[in-house]
Amino acid sequence: MTTRLAAVGPDSTPTPQVTSAAARDDERPGPPASLDALVRRHLPGLIRYATVLVGDPHTAADLVQEVLLRAHQRWGRIASTDRPDLYLRRMVTNEHLSWRRRWHVRTIQPTSDDVLIRRAGTAGDHAHHHAEEDAMWQLLAGLPPRQRAVLVLRYYEGLADAEAATVLGTTPATVRSHAARALATLRRADLTTLETR
Residue 130 reports pLDDT greater than 60: yes
Mean residue pLDDT across the chain: 75
Residue 124 reports pLDDT greater than 90: no
- Quick one: average pLDDT of 62-78? 91
- Span 79-90, pLDDT tens digits: 888 889 899 999
Which among 115, 5, 9, 100 is positioned nearest to 62, based on CA atoms?
A: 5
Q: Alpha-carbon dihedral of residues 97, 98, 101, 106, nearest 10 degrees?
A: -60
What's the pLDDT at 141? 80
8 A C-beta contact, residue 114 and residue 11: yes
Angle formed at CA 30 by CA 29 and CA 34, multiple of 5 degrees: 105
Helix (H) or strand (E) run with residue 2 in it: strand 2-8
Categorize the per-residue pLDDT at 24 as very low, low, confident or very high, splitting at 50, 70 and 90: very low
Span 142-197 CATH architecture: Orthogonal Bundle (1.10)
Residue 73 reports pLDDT greater than 70: yes
Helix (H) or strand (E) run with residue 19 in it: strand 13-19
The structural domains of the chain, with segments of one domain joined by +, span: 1-107, 142-197
Residue 195 reports pLDDT greater than 70: no
